[in-house]
A and B are shown apart, each in its own frame.
Chain A
Amino acid sequence: MTIDPRDERLARLHARTVAHRDELAHNLLADGAPPTTPPRAAPGASGPSSPRPGRRHAAKGSRRTALAVSAISAVGLTGWFHQTAASSTTALDTGSADVADLAAAVPSTTSTTTPSTTTTSRSSSSSSSGTSSSGSARSSTTSTTTTNTGTSVSMADGTYTGTSASTRYGPVQVQITVADNTITDVEVVEYPTDDRKSASINARAVPTLVQETLTAQSATVRSVSGATYTVSGYKKSLQSAIDAAVAAA
């Protein structure tokens, strides 16, 4: 005997409605309350429906569990991201400080590049692709004024290009211009450009890093969220350029 699909569907809907109503009645009976059948408005009827007396959620405990797990997960992930970003910044700052102290202690007459005129143009990523840690870059709000904080070591005037630092998505290389023991210009001469998604990240990350370098006058710059790999390579290359300037002095 073949079954009309419409009849089958109606029977299934009827069964589901009856089961749901019986479940509610069963819950009410379990609590000792008299079973009540709330009035049910017709579909499409206008006007507010009367509130169901003693409505209970069949999955009350499961819903609470799901909400608790979601909230705890959100808080836990937030803390984990914060800790990860803080630890990566601390590790890079510690490494850069050690290298700076070593460069200051060992005098050297070598110079990686010949002195050139100070360039005033600031490097900024174009609309071309660039690869970094995935996600949109978040530009931190930093001051636009350049202050000379005074480095602990003296740097020779000139333009110095740091070593190319390899990152997960490609190399990063930084070039600095020093005048009167002050970093006057920073240019990111090389960064990964293989992924279109990185364009949005580097569009915010690179100018932010450059600005913070000019402000801090060192490789101690704050990590830019969403551009962890670019920041890591930037710091390494910048530190090597500073080391070269110190060595030249």
Chain B
Amino acid sequence: MADVLWFMTRATGIVAMVLILAALADGLIYSGREGGRRLRPAWWLDLHRGLGGYALAFTGLHLVSAFGADIGAGLAQIFLPQTSPTSTMGFTLGVLALYGLVITVFTSWPSQLFKRRAWHVLHLLSIPTALAAAVHAWQLGTDAMTPWFMGVGVVVVAVAMYPVGLRISGIARRRDERHHGGAPSSLAPQVPTAPPSPGASDDAGPVLVGARETHAYPSSPPLMEEASR
């Protein structure tokens, strides 16, 4: 029985790790502005919430099976950092990742209890949580050095890092535009800009084809127009 629990510990840990990174990638894609026009934002948000909840559930299974598998992970090692006699840093990062995940998920459900700024700060814990979980998996994971795990890890991390790269390039582009008065940066992706129409109002704002800022506020956004078609 202990053997089965040990195998389940490894399996649920791998699945939880993938779900955490998938939820992170979904959230970054959903909240970013550099990914282009996005259809059905409610779908992205709902999926992001689901992935986060499932990640928490599988993390709970991972802890329960680790506790029963006799690998030296008692209640103290699971819930208190720096208490494991061996692989202290690995266990500590796992504990910190657990707390970060719990805070991130449980502060998102009652979204109306927090002000947006406070909620945003708490939700940003998801990024160091994902990093801590990844290092925990690399240090303590039995399968961390196997080729298939490394291949899956590379793919999942690449998917998670793609929106981060978009954000960084978008931030650099917007900073350069503010400094140079709208001149595109060499580091920024070359987004084709539509020339302003002669009859366009000065209040229409910028129109960037392919970027998220395709709407002229305060009118209704194009996503509404997409849904009504």
Query: Which residues of chain A have a CB within 8 Å of any CB of chain B?
Result: 1-3, 5, 7-8, 11-12, 14-16, 18-20, 22-24, 26, 40-41, 43-45, 49, 57-60, 62-63, 66-67, 70, 73-79, 81-82, 85, 133-141, 197, 199-200, 203-204, 225-226
Q: How far is the CA of A136 from the CA of B10 in the complex (A)?
A: 11
Give the interface size class of chain B. Answer: 35 or more
| Pairwise interchain contact B15-A43, C-beta atoms closer than 8 A | no
- A49 vs B113: C-alpha distance when bound (angstroms): 9
| Distance in angstroms between the alpha carbons of A16 and B18 in the assembled complex | 27
A-side contacts of B202, CB under 8 Å: 1
* Interface of chain B residues 55 through 88 with chain A (CB within 8 A): 58, 61, 69-72, 86-87
Query: Given that A22-B227, A26-B227, A136-B87 are known contacts, is A78 also in contact with B112, CB under 8 Å in the complex?
Result: no
Task: Kindly identify which residue among A58, A70, A138, A139 contacts B42, using a CB–CB cutoff of 8 Å.
Answer: A58
Partner of B72, one of A22, A73, A81, A204: A204
**A3 touching B206 by the CB < 8 A rule?**
yes
Which of B46-54, B97-105, B158-166, B187-195 is near enough to bind chain A? B46-54
Interface residue? B106 (CB, 8 A): no
Whether B140 sits at the interface, judged by CB under 8 Å, is yes
- SS class of chain A's interface: helix, strand, loop or mixed? helix
B131 at the interface (CB under 8 A from A): no
* B142 in complex: contacting residue of A58, A70, A78, A133, CB < 8 Å: A133
Give the A-B pair count, Cβ closer than 8 A. 169
Distance A183 CA – B87 CA, assembled complex (angstroms) = 33
Contact with A along B179-208 (1 / 0, CB 8 A): 001100000000000000000001001100
Instruction: Provide the residues of chain A in CB contact with B40, threshold 8 Å.
Output: 23, 58
Among A45, A74, A138, point to the contact of B69 (Cβ < 8 A). Answer: A138
Q: In whole angstroms, how far apart are the Cα atoms of A66 and B223 in the complex?
A: 26
The chain A residue sitting closest to B203, CB to CB, is: A1
Set A26, A135, A138, A203: member contacting B144, Cβ < 8 A: A135
Q: Chain B contacts of A14 at CB under 8 A?
A: 217
Q: Which of B43, B50, B51, B139 contacts A197 (CB 8 A)?
A: B139
B121: Cβ under 8 A from any A Cβ = no
A37 CA / B107 CA spacing, docked (Å): 24
* Cα distance, A137 to B218, chains bound together (Å): 61
Interface on B for A, CB 8 Å cutoff?
Answer: 2-4, 6-8, 10-12, 14-15, 18-19, 22, 33, 40-47, 50-51, 54, 58, 61, 69-72, 86-87, 90, 110, 112-116, 139-145, 174, 178, 181-182, 202, 205-206, 212-213, 215, 217-218, 220-221, 223-224, 227
- Assess whether A15 is in contact with B221, with CB atoms less than 8 Å apart: yes
CB distance from B226 to the nearest CB of A (A): 9
Instruction: Check B10–A67 contact: CB distance below 8 A.
Output: no
Choose one: B112, B114, B205, B221; the contact of A3 (CB below 8 Å).
Answer: B205
CB < 8 Å: which of B41, B72, B141 contacts A134?
B141
* A51 shortest CB reach to chain B, Å: 12
User: What residues of B have a CB within 8 angstroms of the CB of A197 in the complex?
Assistant: 87, 139
**Given A43-B115, A58-B42, A77:B54 Cβ within 8 A:** no
Could you list some 29 contacts between A and B, CB below 8 A?
A1-B202, A1-B205, A11-B217, A15-B221, A18-B220, A19-B42, A19-B224, A20-B41, A23-B40, A23-B42, A23-B227, A24-B42, A43-B112, A43-B116, A57-B50, A58-B40, A59-B43, A59-B50, A63-B50, A70-B54, A78-B11, A79-B7, A135-B141, A135-B142, A138-B69, A138-B71, A199-B86, A200-B86, A203-B86
Chain A residues with CB under 8 Å of B206's CB are 1, 3
Contacts of A203 in B (CB 8 A): 86
Q: How far is the CA of A31 from the CA of B215 in the complex (A)?
A: 30
**Do B112 and A82 have beta carbons less than 8 Å apart?**
no
From A227, which residue of chain B is reached at the shortest CB distance?
B142
Residues of B within 8 A of A204 (CB): 72
Contacts of B86 in A (CB 8 A): 136, 199-200, 203
- Residues on A with C-beta less than 8 A from B10 are 77-78, 81, 135
Q: Are A59 and B4 in contact (CB under 8 A)?
A: no
- Interface centre among A18, A20, A140, A200, by most chain B C-beta atoms within 10 angstroms, is A200
A23 nearest in chain B by CB position: B42
Pair A136/B42 contact, Cβ less than 8 Å: no
